[in-house]
Amino acid sequence: MKKFTDVHDIGDLRAAVAEAMNIKADRFSFNTLGRNKTLMMIFFNSSLRTRLSTQKAAMNLGMNVIVLDVNQGAWKLETERGVIMDGDKSEHLLEAIPVMGCYCDVIGVRSFAGLKDKAEDYEERIINQFIKYSGRPVFSMEAATRHPLQSFADLITIEEYKKTDRPKVVLSWAPHPKALPQAVPNSFAEWMNATDYDFVITHPHGYELASEFVGNARVEYDQRKAFEGADFIYGKNWSAYADPNYGKVLSTDRNWTINAEKMALTNNAYFMHCLPVRRNMIVTDEVIESPQSIVIPEAANREISATVVLKRILESL
């Protein structure tokens, strides 16, 4: 695998999940594959799970790891070509990227949507420049429009917990005070649409995701109706996608908070969230602390999805 930015890069999902289960049974089974190979993780944004789980995955495979937080100690980077660099930015991405590529064998990039310019975000300008100019295989640690390591971990988690072959999976918008990217819901939808699950998306009017991500999913504006008979509830906030409100918070209505009364409408559904989560905005204490909450095993599977992805990249070097 030469890059990992969306669901298509992983190929057959059954094979990917089977490989993940094998890795989970013995996560050190390929601990010499990464010998003398270096992973460089570049963060333009904060992270807890992604930095820890991806570093752990690299260690499982015997790799060396370098982590760079671009906003802490590196030169401020210009990302636009053609700019006269007389401001506060000391270095251009067009030099920084190939230089980073000199010191490693694989690059992971976290670069969130700016939520100001939809075209710039949806063209994936930052990670695509890494793919083009680094000379190394690149994988996404959440880019502007997708978070595939998260979605892969989510799929593994659903496969582990599902009680029927074709579970009903509901992606539910929930309130949050700040504008968040659409990357997690886009990506979750992309991966769910690649399965044969019964997949439903529920959100208030104005929060429609891009049609290429909604795909064949059913969209239900009545959250309670969406929850009926669900086997998995996947909570997440996102900001508006549709113009003219791109990147805006249209509602912080806590009537959309996921609570025990709504969970009671489901088929004793499991509650999932990628984390970090704001309690009593997205989900009540009661639900996230309930036995049906699988947010911690879901986060644990981030190590597994990252190990599979890095293993496949190493095998292609």
- List alpha helices for the chain, DSSP H: 13-25, 49-60, 93-102, 118-122, 125-133, 148-161, 183-193, 211-214, 223-227, 260-263, 285-288, 295-315
**Please, which residue, 60 or 151, has the CB nearer to ligand AN0?**
151
CB-CB neighbours of 253 under 10 Å: 10
- Going by C-beta distance under 8 Å and a sequence separation of 6 or more, which residues neighbour residue 26? none
Asked if 273 and 235 count as a contact pair (C-beta separation under 8 A), the reply is: yes
**Please, which residue, 126 or 274, has the CB nearer to ligand CP?**
274
User: At residue 2, what are phi and psi to the nearest 5 degrees?
Assistant: -95, -15
- Going by C-beta distance under 8 Å and a sequence separation of 6 or more, which residues neighbour residue 207? 173, 238, 240, 241, 250, 251
Span from 18-26, 124-132, 162-170, 268-276 in contact with ligand CP (CB under 6 A): 268-276
Query: Which member of 31, 47, 64, 193 binds ligand CP (CB under 6 A)?
Result: 47
Query: Which member of 15, 18, 48, 296 binds ligand CP (CB under 6 A)?
Result: 48
Query: Which member of 150, 292, 305, 307 binds ligand CP (CB under 6 A)?
Result: 150
Q: Should residue 275 be labelled a site residue for ligand CP when binding is judged by CB under 6 A?
A: yes
**Please, which residue, 274 or 294, has the CB nearer to ligand AN0?**
274
Distances (CA, A) of 34 to 3, 30, 91, 184, 199: 17, 8, 31, 29, 37
Of ligand AN0, ligand CP, none, which one does residue 201 interact with (CB within 5 to 8 Å by kind)?
none
Asked if 277 and 288 count as a contact pair (C-beta separation under 8 A), the reply is: yes
> What is d(CA 312, CA 317) in angstroms, rounded to the nearest whole number?
9
> What is d(CA 262, CA 180) in angstroms, rounded to the nearest whole number?
24
Q: Should residue 50 be labelled a site residue for ligand CP when binding is judged by CB under 6 A?
A: yes
What binding mask, one character per residue, do residues 283-302 give for ligand CP by CB under 6 A, x or -?
A: --------------------
**Please, which residue, 206 or 276, has the CB nearer to ligand CP?**
276
Q: Should residue 170 be labelled a site residue for ligand CP when binding is judged by CB under 6 A?
A: no
CB-CB neighbours of 45 under 10 Å: 15
Of ligand CP, ligand AN0, none, which one does residue 48 interact with (CB within 5 to 8 Å by kind)?
ligand CP
**Please, which residue, 142 or 154, has the CB nearer to ligand AN0?**
142
Query: Any idea what DSSP says for residue 173?
Result: E
Number of residues binding to ligand CP, judged by CB under 6 A: 9
**Please, which residue, 104 or 153, has the CB nearer to ligand CP?**
153
Minimum distance from residue 125 beta carbon to ligand AN0 (Å): 17
> What is d(CA 157, CA 139) in angstroms, rounded to the nearest whole number?
21
Q: Should residue 274 be labelled a site residue for ligand CP when binding is judged by CB under 6 A?
A: yes
User: Encoding tokens for residue 52?
Assistant: 């820890």
Q: Should residue 49 be labelled a site residue for ligand CP when binding is judged by CB under 6 A?
A: yes
Judged by the rule CB under 6 A, the positions of this chain that interact with ligand AN0 are: 142, 180-181, 183-184, 274, 276
Of ligand CP, ligand AN0, none, which one does residue 287 interact with (CB within 5 to 8 Å by kind)?
none
Residues near ligand CP (CB under 6 A) are 47-50, 142, 150, 274-276
